[in-house]
Chain A
Amino acid sequence: MFLLDTTILAASSLLLLGIASSKFSARLGMPVLVMFLGLGMLAGSEGLGGIAFEDYSFAYGIGTLALALILFSGGLGTPYKAVRATWKPAGLLATVGVLITAVVTGVAASYILEISLAQGLLLGSIVGSTDAAAVFSILRSGGVHIRRRLADTLEVESGSNDPMAIFMTVGLIEVLTGNVTPGIGLAGLFFNQMLVGLAVGIGIGLASVWVLKHIHLGAAGLYPVLATACGLFSYGLAADLGGSGFLATYLTGMVIGNHRVVFHRGIVLFHDAAAWLGQIVMFIMLGMLSFPSRLLDVFVPGLAIAVVLVFVARPLAVVLNVFPFRFSFREQVFLSWVGLKGAVPITLATFPLLAGIPSASLIFDVVFFVVLVSAIVQGWSLPWVARRLRLETAPTRQAPVTLEISSLHDIEGDIVDYYVAPEARAAGKLVKELALPEDVVIALIVREHQIRMPKGSSRIEAEDHVVVVLRPGVRPLVDRVFAPRAMEGVEKELPRAVEFPLRGNISVRELEEFYQLSLGGDASITLDKWFRERVGGSRVSKGMTVNCDRVRLRAVEVAANGHIQYLGMTILPEGAPDDEAVRELPTESLVGTDPATGEAASMSVPASDSAESAGSPVVDEDRIARSVAGDRSVQREQES
């Protein structure tokens, strides 16, 4: 009994330390899995903890279980939309890509470590897959914002490439121990793994959805447990039938996650927690399993193999697989760099040890080292690389928060909390004026810290929160009323003239040189700073314009801190020297009244915003006229 008590104390202490280390991880920018591994190594037999742990089969068991939970949770959070858009490149990367990575790395490893080709290939296969836990954690919570398609490709790839690596590892071990002949036997094993995994995963997924919807359990807490059971059942069944359990559980999670099941939010939260627990336990345990001193022994060959993997094998796999899918060169570089390795290789590296393959211990140490290098170097540098490759995009606008109706029965309805942005259609309108479909009720309006009970005569102000109860089917119509108008908003802001967007953080010199303009002032400062100086230190608001030389610059997107993210540049008609341009001016001023141009005018100034169409064009002409007269003038214009 004392042993058990001590074990629980030690395990919980390690968990606490693991959670504490995640705080440091954010501060250091180091992937959290590296922190966990480091903690495990510290706790291990050669570290401060001195815990002697060398039970590979136990580690393998825990690792497999944790991995199944992580993949199940990853599946729950993967929308079909992401898969539909990316399954071709991601699927190729997850199969052929793993094969290429494994073969290139394997050949190099057999050469570097002076082991047989089959053993080298075994090592290559073990490190062939990217790590779902690491990729998910960096792309979802690591503050790296990249193009959706790129992120989805990486996520779907990492979620689905483990089966391939596992298959290759298991297959090669079978070949090395003489149980399976290469060729037909191996191909059969492959198709069995994939097809059974696919069929079981989707089949159990659909069955789980049906059960979750119809079982009517009395306690809410049972639903997440039921979902876990379904996920693990899917793993077990697929693995027992000779298929890939990991693929099956990932797919089951995906099917459940994409259906409206009872207590959906609870299920997702529970598995998010389970995945975290899985990661901490698995990485700490794998850290304890390693011997830092033996890692030092394989430093040189390990580093050499890591270099081949990162700079040759992975890029080659990426380039050969994604070329039909139109990723830009920079995106391909990024895809190559996100070949993050994680727990799967370390777990897989215990396989040869259990099977008693010669040089298994060497393979384990090298794999561990390679994973460590990949996780630290690639994981750490990812945000930096994304920035350098200019792949970062602005974080997408927060979608309206959907609150779930907490009911143990499946209710066809959502409660949605909309934030009313100033540019939303609903802002400033009475409730009864809103073009809401039927089946929608505004439950309450939250203004500052007050709750208001809505009536038909209540006015919705900008920055209100409006809580709406709706049937899912009418959601897009309601979104149109309350959500910020991403596209329409810009169109509304587009003035009558065409504007070229410019980043606020480019230097004045870059712009001057490109268009041979002379904007005046210090050319080394950013356009944002130049503009703010021009408007005289007052707070820049959207729509302010400055005319200078041949261009007009307008603040298009202003951040909360007053910095201009984007400016719009309009090229003004030429001044007096050019007769032609001057003659064109009257035509411009008459846009609104000339029958021939009536359509153009109604497009630029949406008819619905009658207040604007009355006001702004007058200011506009005034400005053009003044700029032609050579006046470097500053205008401030309130757009709304």
Chain B
Amino acid sequence: MKFSDFICAKAIRAQLSSDSKQDVINELVESLLEAGEINADEKDDIIAAIMKREELGSTGIGRGVAVPHTKHAGVDKLVGTVGVSVDGVDFNSLDGEKVQLFFLLISPPDRPGDHLRALENISKQLRGETFCRFLKQSRTAEDIHQLLEEADNNQFGG
């Protein structure tokens, strides 16, 4: 599964303005709303579902990366977005580092396979330090989009 299969290019945010966990999730879900991927009346419910997943354990996976995700009936296919925060946000990661790079994922409840596949793909790509570093340094949505495309084409050797 490639990033282009589920990351919504219009929703990518290069300079997130939030500086708390709750706000950054709001901001990313808002970006999906603006891109037309989700319905306005389901936004709050989706945010709540993501926060509920965070209660199982922070999705801050360390090294400045977080992958907040949930399943929700408000989407009929897997959708996701990428956000970069210049200053970083405290996301309760185990390593205590602030998170700069966010991959937010919402999957329909009836397709658990896609959900896991997407998470696995993100996990695989994020192991590449160059990929992470380039993403964190990106200051425009175009840059991020391009990096994702390059990753899809195995240019980071993932």
B contact patch SS: mixed
For the complex, give the distance between the alpha carbons of A36 and B18 in Å.
45
- The answer to whether B117 touches A574, judged by C-beta atoms less than 8 angstroms apart, is yes
Contact A328 B20 (CB under 8 A): yes
**CB of A637 within 8 A of chain B?**
no
Asked whether B112 lies within 8 Å of A516 as measured between CB atoms, the reply is yes
Q: If the complex has contacts A326-B23, A515-B116, A566-B94, are A600 and B129 also in contact, measured as CB distance less than 8 A? A: yes
Chain B hits for A581, CB < 8 A: 117
Are B22 and A328 touching (Cβ within 8 A)?
yes
CB pair B61–A498 under 8 Å, yes or no, is yes
**Cβ–Cβ contact A490 & B62, under 8 A:** yes
Given the complex, which residues of B lie within 8 Å of A506, measured CB to CB? 55-57
Interface centre among B61, B94, B96, B123 (most CB of A within 10 A): B94
Chain B residue nearest to A328 in the complex (CB): B22
Cα A599 to Cα B158 with chains together (Å): 11
Residues on the B chain within 8 Å of A603, using CB = 129
Q: What number of B residues sit within 8 Å (CB to CB) of A?
A: 42
Q: Which residues of B contact A594 (CB under 8 A)?
A: 157
Q: Which residue of A lies closest to B59 (CB)?
A: A500
CA–CA, A516 and B113, complex, Å: 9
Query: Among the listed A501, A570, A588, which residue makes an inter-chain contact with B94, where contact means beta carbons less than 8 Å apart?
Result: A501
Cβ–Cβ < 8 Å partners of A567 in chain B: 57
Judge whether B94 and A571 touch: CB under 8 Å: no
What are 30 sample pairs from A and B whose C-beta atoms fall under 8 A apart?
Answer: A326-B20, A328-B20, A328-B21, A486-B96, A487-B96, A487-B97, A490-B95, A491-B95, A498-B65, A498-B67, A498-B124, A501-B59, A501-B60, A501-B93, A503-B56, A503-B57, A506-B55, A506-B56, A510-B56, A515-B115, A515-B116, A516-B112, A556-B94, A566-B57, A571-B116, A573-B120, A578-B117, A588-B124, A597-B158, A600-B158
In the complex the two chains form, what is the Cα distance from A248 to B142 in whole Å? 55
> Which residues between 506 and 562 of chain A lie within 8 Å of chain B, taking CB atoms?
506, 510-511, 514-516, 550, 556-557
B55 touches A494 (CB 8 A): no
Q: How far does the Cβ of A511 sit from chain B's closest Cβ, in whole Å?
A: 7
Instruction: Return the CB mask of B39-77 against A: 1 if under 8 Å, else 0.
Output: 000000000000001011111111101010001000000
The answer, yes or no, to whether A502 is at the interface (CB within 8 Å) is: yes
A596/B60 in contact, CB under 8 A: no
Complex Cα–Cα for A572 and B122 (A):
12
Enumerate A182-197 residues with CB–CB distance to B below 8 Å.
none
Contact B95 A329 (CB under 8 A): no
- Is B61 a contact partner of A496 (Cβ separation < 8 A)? no
Which residues of B74-131 are within 8 A (CB) of A?
93-97, 112-113, 115-117, 119-120, 122-124, 126-130
